[in-house]
Every structure is written in structure tokens, then in C-alpha cells.
Amino acid sequence: MAEETKAPEVVVPEAETPLTAEKEVATTPEKEVEKPEVEAADAEKIAEEVSFKEETNVVSELPESQRKALDELKKLIQEACAKREFSSSPPPPPSPKKEEKVVEEKKTEEEEQTPLEKKEEEVAPPPVDTADVAETATSAVSVEETPKVEEATPVTEEAPKVEEPVPVTEEVKKEEEEEKTVEAIKETIIETTSETPADEQPPQPPPKEVVVEEEAVEPEEVTIWGIPLLADERSDVILLKFLRARDFKVKEAFTMIRNAVRWRKEFGVNELLEEDLGNDYAKVLFTHGHDKEGRVVCYNVFGEFQNKELYHNTFSDAEKRNRFLKWLIQFLEKIIRDLDFSPKGVNSIVLVNDLKNSPGYGKRDVSKIIDRFLVILQDNYPEFVAKQLCINTSWWYVAYYWIYLTVFTPRSKSKFVFASPSKTPETLFKYIAPEHVPVQYGGHSKIGENEFTSADAVTEVIVKPGTKHPIEFAFSEATELVWELRVIGWDVNYGAEFLPAKEGGYTLNISKPKKVVPTEDPVISDTFKVTEAGKVVITIDNQSSKKKKLLYRSKVKASSAE
């Protein structure tokens, strides 16, 4: 890890090659030992490595492999929509399973009936004996008829009377019974032949196919954050987020999308947007200004839970914890739906985690909700956080996170930045202009005050050790000057005066030089009505041994002064 003693923050490094979880855990102890030593020895020394940078969302600018992956993902989504696979509770395919069960039942019935049929065949006269039975029957008839014919030779007219004697009638009955037996045997033979292999059976016409007309099913129309998955270039931006979260592994990205859509339906995210969950957490999580790339900045201030009443109303039971979780998701959803999903638009946010006085993982109830929210965020909101700035951190917290971040991918790790309390303003200013940073974090943005707005840019100046830096404003007519300034860390002298252009004029002290200590790190605001030509001079005298960063802005208003 490259270390720069003057770098403003800790950026969690991105691994050069993908590491398995096992390897990452194995390397953690070394980092864990090294980092606390650095922080404990000198809080001003903060290591920095290459941080995350968002890629383009313009499809034509993507590498060929990524464009191909995007096309493949679209095809999978189109097929899934046709099969309605995005339903939150997809119905199991009952018909194929039922058909398989029926076939299996038939097979088992046939297997069970086969032995019985074999027994019946064994009990019934075998097919081979039919000829013998027939021969026996005919021979018996012929043998018994022979003497009758001999006796009837002299008298030809008495031949028909041979059928009348009783013995002859019994034989006829026997013949009839034998004929019935033969017919039964033939029927048995027909049944057994039907069970013979197909190649031994005579060719039969193929059975008519039964065509089952399936009802036409309309494809699903799947939307997420109010945008269809398959529509236009905005859809491509969303699909690219899922692909990047899975390193452009198409099947894994598709599974992630499908699970996210199902989770949204099961959790009732769309309905959640309409719920009134109150405004109890307005100071815990809020948006304020934009970063230098135009992204919304969201501040997460868990130190507000030092308020016992708020803590009790949030974490005292499962119902309240779930309500807070729903509030967090609702808050996030509203921010995302206001994003611009065009390829060149702003479609991510910056998250600032203020860890000052945070209950953190010492409170089990808090950690449960944080863990659940992080899992939901990671599984269902990919690539929406472009940067996570963890401010007001201590060295032990950074050491803890070095272990905690082993579960994240190198891509996710590269989004984290850590800053100690003394480095918090400077770290924020690297990503967020001072006019967008709240006053409590060293910036110039004040809620509810309209003297300056975020459109009024702040000028940054470095004041070297042992030097004075004057800020001059010249005027040729009556007017009113308004300004505000602050020095990061202060510990400097501040003063302001008016010097008239007229010879022999007297210098007027607007603010006598005074020492400003770094205890409260305030923003100094002041005004002065100019009544004649001259100039206003503001002086910052840095008598310390460290360089200081001066931030100021001004505005000229029309004055009614004569």
C-alpha cells in the first residue's frame, strides 16, 4: 500500500487481482496490525490509493465484451418475461410434474400387474397345448362315431337318429365346452401377444397426436424504480449496474435482477412509497447539496441515537426496528427515483457516514438493523453509491473496518474513504465543494439562511506558515459588502478594515485583529456599508507552524447610503 503523509483520507485499496474470501481473511491480520500503528503514531498521516471511478454508461463507448454481455442479458430477461419468471412467488410447473406422476403410476401399475398376468398365464392352458386339445377332441369324436357308422351301414335312413342317444349328447356338450376353452385360450393368446415387444408385433398405424391448446400468456412488463427493464437507453443504464455488480457475468447478473424484482414485490416497495412513516429520523439521515460531479450527497448521522428517547422509539422492540428499516428503504427509494437514468446523467449518490458518537456495533439492536440494511443495499441496489465517506473516525474504527471490509469485493472496497476528525473538512472538500458542505462539517452551507446559496462559489486559498494573506475588495461608489470565511483548524489571527481612496482619509477598523481558536471551528460572517471610494481589506495572519486552508466568499448588494 502506497502511503502519502499529506493525503487527506484513507481510501480502502482495490486489490490488483480478485481475491478469494479465504485469501483476504488471511491477509487481514497484517493490515490490521499495520493500520492502527500508523494512525496511533500520527493521526495526520493517512494512506491513499486509487479510488473508485464510475465508468461510462454510453453503450457505444463500452468495450465489445461488455456490449456483448449486455445483449445476452437482454435476451435472458426477454425470455424470462415471456415465461413470467419475475413473479415474486413463481408458480411451480404443476402440469409436467403431474404428467410425470401419472406416467410413473402407470409404470408401477404395469410392474405390479405383470407378475399376476404371468401367474394367470401359468394357470391357463399354455398356447402350445391348444393343438393337442383339438386333436384329442376330434380323435375322441371320430373313435366314438366309427362304430355308429358301422352299425348304420345296412340302414342308411337311420343315420340321423345317432344324435338322439344320451352318450352322444354328453359328447356334444364336451365339445362345446372344449370349444369355449379353445376360444378362451385364443383370447389369452391375443392378450399376451399385445404385451410382446414392439418389433415382434405386427406394424400398427401410429397413434394420433393429441394437441393440447395452451392459453396464450402475455409477457410480463417488469419495471424497477419506475423504469422498464427492456425499454430504452435508461434500461441499459440499470442493466449495466447489475452487470458491473457481478463483474459482467451474465447469468449471475440475471439472477441478481430476478431476485431483486421478486424482493421488491414481496417487500411491497412500491406501496411503501405511499406510506406515512413520520419524520422522526430527519436528523439521522438527510440529503444536503451535491458533490463536484453533481451527485446528491446523503448524510448518515447515527450519533443522533445518543438521544435516549429517539433510541427507545427506534430499537426497543422488533416492530419499531422494522419500522425504522422501512423508513430507510423508503428514504433510499425516493432519492433513487429522482435520479437521471440517461447514459450521461447522474444516476448514483455519495454517502457520508458521520461516526462521531455513533452507538456502532456496541449496541446489538443497532447492529442488527445496520446489517440488514447493508445486505438489502448490496443485493438490491447495485452501484448506486459512488463513494462512501466515513468521517470523524478514530484509528480503532478504521482498524475494525479493515477487517469488516474483507467481505466486500475490491470494487466495493475502493468506494470507501476514512477521515479522522481533524481531516474531515479537508476530505469532504476533495469531493464536495465547500458551499455544499454543511457548516457543522466545516463547510459554508447553512440551512434556512438565504444570504448565500450553493450558487455562490467558495474560494480556497492556502496560507503558508508565518505569513499573512490579505483579501481585498475595491469600490468606486457606495455599496454594501457581505462576506463569510473560515480557516480549517483556525489558530490564526483575523481582522478586517476599510481604507479610503481619498488622500488623508482615515482607516476604519471593521473587525479588530483577534485570535480565532480551533475549538468551535466557526464561520465568520460580516457586512460593511461602503459610503465612499476605497477598499475593504481582510487579513488572515498565520503565525502557526502549519499551513492553513482559507475558504471565503463574498457578495455585493445595492446600498441606499448617500
- pLDDT at 556 exceeding the cut of 60: yes
Residue 240 near residue 253 (C-beta atoms within 8 A): no
Cα(280)–Cα(75) distance, integer angstroms: 45
pLDDT in tens, 58-71: 999 999 999 999 99
In the structure, what pLDDT confidence band is assigned to residue 374 with cuts at 50, 70 and 90? confident
How many CB atoms within 10 Å of residue 200? 7
For residues 420, 423, 425, 429, the Cα torsion angle rounded to the nearest 10 degrees is -120
Going 150 to 155 to 156 to 161, the CA torsion angle's sign is negative
Alpha-carbon gap, residue 420 to 392, rounded angstroms: 5
Q: 249, 260, 261, 258: which is closest to 72 by C-alpha?
A: 249
Weakest mean pLDDT among 121-130, 255-264, 343-352: 121-130
Element (DSSP H or E) covering residue 546:
none
Cβ atoms of residues 81 and 90 within 8 Å? no
Residue range 135-179, pLDDT digits in tens: 444 444 343 444 444 444 444 444 444 444 445 555 556 666 666
CA 115 to chain centre: 58
Q: Which of 216, 218, 214 is nearest to 82 (CA)?
A: 218
* pLDDT over threshold 50, residue 6: no
Joined together, the cell numbers standing for residue 47 give: 494512506
Say if residues 295 and 350 touch (Cβ distance below 8 Å): yes
- How many Å apart are CA 244 and CA 240, to the nearest integer? 6
Q: What residues does 523 pair with on adjacent strands? A: none
Q: How far is CA 302 from the centre of its chain?
A: 24
pLDDT tens profile 414-440: 898 999 998 999 999 999 999 999 999
Which three cell numbers mark 341?
A: 437514468
Q: Which run of H or E residues covers position 480?
A: strand 479-487
> Cα–Cα distances in Å, from 154 out to 146, 148, 150?
14, 11, 8
Instruction: Tell me the one-letter amino acid at 22.
Output: E
How many percent of the chain have pLDDT more than 70? 64
Could you identify the residue written with the cell 481510501? 11
**pTM tops 0.75, yes or no:** no
Q: How confident is the model at residue 186 (pLDDT cuts 50, 70, 90)?
A: low
| Strand 416-418 with 385-391, pairing | parallel
Return the SS3 of 155.
coil
Characterise 402 by phi-psi region: left (phi > 0), alpha (psi -120 to 50), beta (else). Answer: alpha
pLDDT digits (tens, 9 = 90+) for 455-486: 899 999 999 999 999 999 999 999 999 999 99
What's the grid cell of residue 478? 457606495
- Rounded Cα–Cα distance for residues 322 and 278 (Å): 14
Average pLDDT, the chain: 77
14 near 414, Cβ under 8 Å? yes
**Beta strand 285-290 with 385-391: parallel, antiparallel or unpaired?**
unpaired
Residue 39 CB neighbour total at 10 angstroms? 23
Question: Do the bridges between strand 492-500 and strand 534-542 make them parallel or antiparallel, or are there none, so unpaired?
Answer: antiparallel
pLDDT, position 411: 83
Q: For 267, left (φ over 0), alpha (ψ -120 to 50), or beta?
A: alpha
